[in-house]
Amino acid sequence: MAGQELLETSEGPSHLHGLGDFTPSGPDPEASSKSDDAQSQQVATASSDEGAEHEAMARDLCIDNYWNRLWIVQEIGQAQRIEVCFGKERINWDDFIHFITMHNVESSGPLRLNRQRKEKYQGQNTFRRLLEVHKEASRQEPRDKIYGLVGLASDARGFPMDYDKSLLEVWSDVMEFMNERHLLEQSEIVSVAALVKYLLMGTTCPPIQQIARPYIPESGDNILIENINSRRVFKLQAYVIGCVKYVGPSPNEIIASLEKTDVWTQCVEENFRKELSDAHYQSDKLHRTVDRL
């Protein structure tokens, strides 16, 4: 892999492959011990400066957003042989990782991608885990946050990819695929659903009708799913804490129709006989709020 953009923006020192030897020189081979001490101090200072330079460069390389680009994640994850280029310098991947590691740099950037390469055959590169690990990867096409990781996953063969699908449809594909392949624990369903929504739509999600294309029923399509083993059926443990018995009038109807308001009041009395005072209070409070709008 030749990191073209990193090559253009980062300048690597010419001594990246090796620091070389420092050989003091002078006209007098029998220099005094004071001169030797001075030269030794210069060597120590030069080595210290070079070490600080290397550490700073390693840190800058590690936090560079270059490693967070989704296509770089793909390239490094799938490549058989990798070379990293710095200006005119070239270094193989293992030596590069050793250079980063020896300076005790934080475990992000290339070190994270190197772990991913090592875990490829250890059962760690699951579709679910890759979505979580690379959720902040940068990309222009939101669908690539999903499609770009399919090839790296050890359990995502056969996943349907179609860039003509809406973001909502891609979200459904991910959830149904994982459900059908039993890639989700029951306790993970809600959190993974939220994660995939974040990957596709970010922190701000417009109304569903702005995300989805116009709904066209398919042949035999039915909102009620009768087959409990369908991939569209997600089994969750839940508790019943109440039910909806009546849907009251809209704010406009509360203001414009006394008849509908009376029907609402009657329903309150019928359904909250044991808590009637509090129910009337809450109902009146709702009406006052609507009147102030």
Identify whether residues 101 and 151 lie together within a single domain.
no
Tell me: do 186 and 168 sit in the same domain.
yes
Q: Has residue 31 been placed in a domain? A: no
Question: Both 136 and 83 in a single domain?
Answer: no
Distance, in Å, from the CA atom of 215 to the CA atom of 221, rounded to the nearest integer, reads 11
The tens-digit pLDDT sequence of the chain (293 residues) is 444 444 333 333 333 333 233 334 445 545 455 555 555 555 445 456 666 787 888 888 888 888 888 888 888 888 888 988 877 888 899 998 888 888 766 667 888 888 888 887 787 889 999 999 888 888 889 999 999 999 889 899 999 999 999 998 999 999 999 999 999 999 999 999 999 999 998 876 655 544 455 555 556 555 667 788 888 899 888 888 888 888 888 888 888 888 988 998 999 898 888 889 998 998 888 888 888 87
Dig out the tokens for 268 from the structure.
């309150």
Three-state SS string over the chain comes to CCCHHHHHHCCCCCCCCCCCCCCCCCCCCCCCHHHHHHHHHHHHHHHHHHHHHHHHHHHHHHHCHHHHEHHHHHHHHHCCCCEEEECCEEEEHHHHHHHHHCCCCCCCCHHHHHHHHHHHHCCCCCHHHHHHHCCCCECCCCCHHHHHHHCCCCCCCCCCCCCCCCHHHHHHHHHHHHHHCCCCCHHHHHHHHHHHHHHHHCCCCCCHHHHCCCCCCCCCCCCCCCCCCCCCCCCCCCCCCCCCCCCCCCHHHHHHCHHHHHHHHHHHHHHCHHHHHHHHHHHHHHHHHHHHC
d(CA 92, CA 88): 14
Cα dist. 21→14, 15, 24, 47, 264 in Å? 14, 11, 10, 10, 91
CB count, 10 Å around CB of 258?
Answer: 10
Shared domain for 95 and 156, answered yes or no, is: no
Please name the residue that has the structure tokens 């996943």.
Answer: 159
Distance CA 57, CA 99 (A): 10
Tell me the C-alpha distance between 43 and 65, whole Å.
Answer: 35
Residues comprising the chain, all counted = 293
Based on the fold, state whether residues 61 and 104 are members of the same structural domain: yes
Would you say residue 243 lies in a domain?
Answer: no
6, 66 Cβ separation under 8 angstroms = yes
The reported pLDDT for the residue numbered 159 is 96
Residues 93 and 131 in one domain: no
Domain boundary among 153, 184, 210: 210
User: Is 14 within a domain?
Assistant: no
pTM equals: 0.58
Residues 115 and 137 grouped into a single domain: no
If one counts the domains in the chain, the total is 3
Q: What's the pLDDT at 201?
A: 86
Q: What is the pLDDT of residue 26?
A: 47
Indicate the residue among 120, 153, 168 that finishes a domain: 120
Domain boundary at 120, 150, 169, which? 120
| pLDDT of res. 104 | 65
Tell whether 75 is covered by a domain. yes
Structure tokens at 200: 């596709």
Structure confidence by residue, pLDDT tens digits, 112-121? 888 888 887 7
For residue 259, the enclosing domain spans: 251-291
The answer to whether residues 91 and 154 belong to one domain is: no
The reply to whether 11 falls in a domain is no
pLDDT in tens, 212-245: 555 555 565 556 677 888 888 998 888 888 888 8
Non-local (6+) Cβ contacts of 196 within 8 A are 131, 146, 171, 174, 175
